[in-house]
């Protein structure tokens, strides 16, 4: 058995190193690849490290069973698929090798010299380095074209981010395969150009350095600085605590000294860190539940200092051209679990951000004021941080990808606006013949709309206005004259399926037990982006009636039978969407634009369904929306839905449903009062 992706087949993967991160990398491979029969081999020269690594992996899988993340059968499959061994001969036959040894270029070079003789010439070799340039790691490798760095983040089995760093000799095909492979197995890869430390570690270590400087200057205690750091950047823990948890003191001490010559003169290893490394001590940080007093004036001083450092560090990385703003922003949020810098600067105002960076640079010689922040701050212009990405592929097709992996590509008004702009631009672009819309990753096309905006609706008028804002953007998709295909790579709920229904046709990954659903009534609302209008036109009133009022989702098989999708795809759904879109543009495949007139034979009332615990008042308005919209042409039916959405926003049950969702999550049933 094996796992095949983009023309490359994996039957065995090897992880070199059973220290802090190697077993976690192996655990992730076991989780995603063992169902395909792929074996994972972990190699280390230390029998003690192997024993500890094996125990660590088995303990984490066991905890997964206790929490319900894995079944007992999955546990046996995962654990049974991993071999821990000191025999390097076990690497033979591996199609992908991930080295996760100590951050030492001589050791890494020695490992790859040994591994290269054991694997096939086309096997891909990557290093989970945190700092070293691929050109340094693979200097002695014969086939540099199939090498690169894939930098995992702590904890590697749960943190989805990986930096993919090609060297100057890495082939474009290897780079592209690594990016698509890691996305296919559920990670969130970003491409980063080669420089010591890459894009994200200089932020992690640089912010820590800024905290250490404050402590050394006596501005505050490490506990006080840690608390303010955590609060300022919305982090799970502050920089000092993070350093303790990751065991990062030694590697950070080396990294900061190298940054001095490889990035700029501000970076250096502070004396306090040298002392901690020499004594093998942790930092003094708040204990669990300990309350730390930080006077308001001191908190403001620490906050402004850290903001100036953070913004400046991130701006320099963008100036260096290592990574795009969109990729970097996402990396900061996922890998480092902190408020991303460019969103932060936009909210604060880029002029204010520039002031903070300039103030920090004035106090710290060698700290640069980045050109990108100078340019934006001078005009107080926000940074563009797109979450809808466009790629024009051969065949004159534009592929638009909604990429918000942390919220399973959920939509907010900003995403709707980006979609509207992209579809209109592609429709007007003479170099483009068709458009494919998809979602990032393998779990979701779009999980729905961001519910938080609903909590801000305070009147029926505001509700109608909110609905219309989304509808105008979705309508712009349907107005496109060129072929449009939605490639449903995972679940499409709420606003996601509403957006997909505005495309000319839809296809989906085969075998999805849960594909499409309109769960709005669970929240005490109704669809507000065209769901009550387009769904009946695509699947018929009776089926739409049941889906909308019971909130029961349907599988990809059902969606095909209902006519909601055109095909189930066994394989790469985006590649098939591109081919179908091209054929539609060429006249080789049938076009299927929606009839924009009223529906025929609209019943006087809808068939009865069991709505369960859901609001009877909301259901009454939902039925009115379905029947009323069916009798109208599309151009009038869409605003009619918005009026009904506004009416729902005047009910008690809407507030009850939204509050319940935000406080208790999607699985908790709201106690509706039917008013």
Task: Just list the catalytic residues.
Answer: 498, 520
| Residue pair 240/232 in contact by the 8 Å Cβ criterion | no
| Residue pair 374/350 in contact by the 8 Å Cβ criterion | no
Walk across the sheet containing 505-509 and list its strands: 388-393, 397-402, 434-439, 484-488, 505-509, 567-569
Tokens of 480: 């496109």
- The Cα–Cα gap between 674 and 620 comes to 10
CA-based torsion, 369, 372, 378, 381: positive or negative: negative
- The Cα–Cα gap between 65 and 81 comes to 17
- The Cα–Cα gap between 343 and 325 comes to 10
CA 551 to chain centre: 26
CA-based torsion, 626, 627, 631, 636: positive or negative: negative
Tokens 């709309």 locate to: 449
Tokens of 471: 């509808």
Reduce the DSSP state of residue 499 to 3 states and report it: helix
- The Cα–Cα gap between 460 and 465 comes to 9
Which residues are CB-contacts of 547 (< 8 A; sequence separation ≥ 6)?
517, 518, 535, 539, 553, 554
Which residues are CB-contacts of 499 (< 8 A; sequence separation ≥ 6)?
411, 419, 437, 446, 474, 477, 486, 529
- The Cα–Cα gap between 231 and 234 comes to 5
Tokens 């609706």 locate to: 457
- The Cα–Cα gap between 177 and 8 comes to 9
**H, E, C per residue of 346-415:** HHHCHHHHHHHHHHHHHHCCCCCCCHHHHHHHHHCCCCCCCCEEEEEECCCEEEEEECCHHHCCCECHHH
Task: Read off the DSSP letter of residue 20.
Answer: S
CA 451 to chain centre: 18
Which residues are CB-contacts of 94 (< 8 A; sequence separation ≥ 6)?
12, 13, 14, 41, 118, 119, 123
Task: Read off the DSSP letter of residue 522.
Answer: G
- Residues present in the chain in total: 675
């Amino acid at each position: 058995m094996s796992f095949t992706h983009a023309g490359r087949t994996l039957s065995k993967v090897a992880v070199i190193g059973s220290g802090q991160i190697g077993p976690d990398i192996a655990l992730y491979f076991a989780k995603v690849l063992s169902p395909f029969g792929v074996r994972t081999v972990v190699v280390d020269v230390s029998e003690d490290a192997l024993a500890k690594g094996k125990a660590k992996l088995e303990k984490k899988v066991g905890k997964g069973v206790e929490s319900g993340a894995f079944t007992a059968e999955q546990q046996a499959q995962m654990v049974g698929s991993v071999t821990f061994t000191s025999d390097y001969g076990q690497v033979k036959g591996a199609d992908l090798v991930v080295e996760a040894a100590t951050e030492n270029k001589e050791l890494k070079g020695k490992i790859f010299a040994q591994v290269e003789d054991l694997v096939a010439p086309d096997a891909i070799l990557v290093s989970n380095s945190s700092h070293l340039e691929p050109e340094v790691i693979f200097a002695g490798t014969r086939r540099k074209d199939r090498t690169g760095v894939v930098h995992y983040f702590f904890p590697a089995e749960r943190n989805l981010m990986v930096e993919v760093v090609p060297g100057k000799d890495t082939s474009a095909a290897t780079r592209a395969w690594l990016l698509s492979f890691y996305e296919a197995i559920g990670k969130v890869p970003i491409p980063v150009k080669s420089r010591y430390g890459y894009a994200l570690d200089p932020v992690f270590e640089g912010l820590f350095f800024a905290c250490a400087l404050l402590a050394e200057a006596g501005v505050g205690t490490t506990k006080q600085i840690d608390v303010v750091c955590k609060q300022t950047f919305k982090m799970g823990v502050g920089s000092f605590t993070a350093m303790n948890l990751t065991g990062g003191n030694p590697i950070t001490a080396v990294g900061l000294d190298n940054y001095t010559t490889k990035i700029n003169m501000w970076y250096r290893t502070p004396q306090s860190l040298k002392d901690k490394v020499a004594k093998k001590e942790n930092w003094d940080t708040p204990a669990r539940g300990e309350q730390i007093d930080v006077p308001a004036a001191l908190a403001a001083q620490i906050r402004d200092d850290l903001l100036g450092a953070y913004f400046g560090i991130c701006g320099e990385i963008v100036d260096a051209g290592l990574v795009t703003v969109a990729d970097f922003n996402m990396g900061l949020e996922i890998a480092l679990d902190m408020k991303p810098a460019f969103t932060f600067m936009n909210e604060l105002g880029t002029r204010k951000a520039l002031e903070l960076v300039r103030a920090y640079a004035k106090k710290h010689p060698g700290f640069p004021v980045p050109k990108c922040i100078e340019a934006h701050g001078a005009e107080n212009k926000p940074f563009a941080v797109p979450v809808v990405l466009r790629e024009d592929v051969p065949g004159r097709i534009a592929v638009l990808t909604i990429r918000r992996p942390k919220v399973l590509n959920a939509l907010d008004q900003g995403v709707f606006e980006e979609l509207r702009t992209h579809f209109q631009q592609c429709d007007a672009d003479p170099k483009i013949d068709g458009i494919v819309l998809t979602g990032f990753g393998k779990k979701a096309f779009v999980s729905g709309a961001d519910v938080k905006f609903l909590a801000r609706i305070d009147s029926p008028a505001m509700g109608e206005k909110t609905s219309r804002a989304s509808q105008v953007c979705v309508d712009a998709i349907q107005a496109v004259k060129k072929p449009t295909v939605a490639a449903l790579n995972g679940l499409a709920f709420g606003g996601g399926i509403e957006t997909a229904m505005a495309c000319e046709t839809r296809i989906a990954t085969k075998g999805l037990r849960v594909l499409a659903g309109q769960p709005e009534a669970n929240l005490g609302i109704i669809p507000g982006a065209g769901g009550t209008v387009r769904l009946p036109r695509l699947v018929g009133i009776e089926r739409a009636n049941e889906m909308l009022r019971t909130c029961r989702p349907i599988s990809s098989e059902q969606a095909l039978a209902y006519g909601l999708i055109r095909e189930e795809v066994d394989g790469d759904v985006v590649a098939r969407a591109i081919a179908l879109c091209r054929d539609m543009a060429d006249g080789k495949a049938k076009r299927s634009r929606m009839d924009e007139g009223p529906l025929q034979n609209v019943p006087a009332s809808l068939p009865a369904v069991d709505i369960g615990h859901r609001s009877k008042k909301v259901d009454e308005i939902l039925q009115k929306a379905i029947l009323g919209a069916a009798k109208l042409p599309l151009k009038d039916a869409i605003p009619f839905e918005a009026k009904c959405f506004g009416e729902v926003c005047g009910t008690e049950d809407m507030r009850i449903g939204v509050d319940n969702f935000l406080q208790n999550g999607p699985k908790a049933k709201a106690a509706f009062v039917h008013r």
